[in-house]
Amino acid sequence: MSTTRSVGVSGTSGVGPGGPAQPHSILTLAAAGFLAYYITVMWHEIFGHGLAGYLLGARHFILTSTSMFSPDMAAGTRGITLGGRFVAFAGPLANAVMGIVIYPIFRAVSRRNGNLTLRYLLWLLAALNFFLGFMYMVFSGIFGVGDYAAVIAFLPFHALLRTLEVLVGGLLCAATVRFFAPSLAEFSENLWRLCLVPYVSATVVFCLTGLRIPNAMHFMLISVIPASLMGQAILVFVTPVARRLRAAPPSPEAIRTSPLMIAIALLFVVAVYLTAPGARFTLPQL
From the first residue on, what is the mean pLDDT of each consecutive set of 10 residues in the chain (286 residues)?
Answer: 36 41 89 97 95 94 89 68 93 97 97 95 98 94 91 94 96 98 93 96 92 83 85 96 87 91 96 89 88
Cis previous bond, 95, omega within 30: no
pLDDT for 157 = 95
Four-CA torsion 114, 268, 238, 101, nearest 10 degrees: -60
Three-class SS state of 45: helix
pLDDT for 250 = 80
SS3 letters for 168-189? HHHHHHHHHHHHHHHHHCCCCC
Four-CA torsion 127, 132, 138, 139, nearest 10 degrees: 150
Rounded Cα distance between 122 and 262, Å, is 16
pLDDT for 78 = 55
pLDDT for 4 = 38
Beta strands in the chain, from DSSP E residues, in sequence order: 15-16, 19-20, 60-63, 68-69, 279-282
Rounded Cα distance between 55 and 186, Å, is 41
pLDDT for 45 = 94
pTM score: 0.88
Domains in the chain: boundaries: 23-282
In contact, 206 and 37? CB cutoff 8 Å: yes
Query: What is the pairing mode between strands 19-20 and 60-63?
Result: unpaired
pLDDT for 252 = 83
